[in-house]
Amino acid sequence: DQQVKQNSPSLSVQEGRISILNCDYTNSMFDYFLWYKKYPAEGPTFLISISSIKDKNEDGRFTVFLNKSAKHLSLHIVPSQPGDSAVYFCAAREGAQKLVFGQGTRLTINP
């Protein structure tokens, strides 16, 4: 059972426009959510996070929104840049240390 789901395997966006990546989860006990970015042949790197007690967190061009009632979070990147092309994973914290990851969404930014 996939507790964290990213239903879009890929997304293509024009440079300068907004990229919106979505993530759904089923476990209401998750208390912290994170987004990671992964380039080919590299490990994932942490991008941004949000506590379950908040509904928005912003860091520069990146904003994460959390809708607890819908069990849905999204990552907004604006404006999108070519260097943003990567695979994005959302993750949710379960228990003290464990993270549960989604399947990933491949974002391609077109010039």
Residue 102 beta carbon to other proteins: minimum distance, rounded to whole angstroms: 5
Asked if 9 touches other proteins (CB under 8 A), the answer is yes
For other proteins, give the closer residue by CB, 93 or 107.
Answer: 93
Q: Which of residues 12-71 bind other proteins (CB under 8 A)?
A: 32, 34, 36, 41-46, 49
Cα dihedral 75, 2, 10, 38 sign: positive
65 contacts 74 by C-beta, under 8 angstroms: yes
Residue 77 has what DSSP assignment?
E
3-class SS at 48? strand
Residue 64 beta carbon to other proteins: minimum distance, rounded to whole angstroms: 13
- Select from 52, 71, 101, 108 the one that contacts other proteins (CB under 8 A): 101
For other proteins, give the closer residue by CB, 4 or 13.
Answer: 4
63 contacts 55 by C-beta, under 8 angstroms: no
55 contacts 65 by C-beta, under 8 angstroms: yes
Q: Rule CB under 8 A: which residues touch other proteins? A: 4, 6, 9, 32, 34, 36, 41-46, 49, 89, 91, 93, 97-104
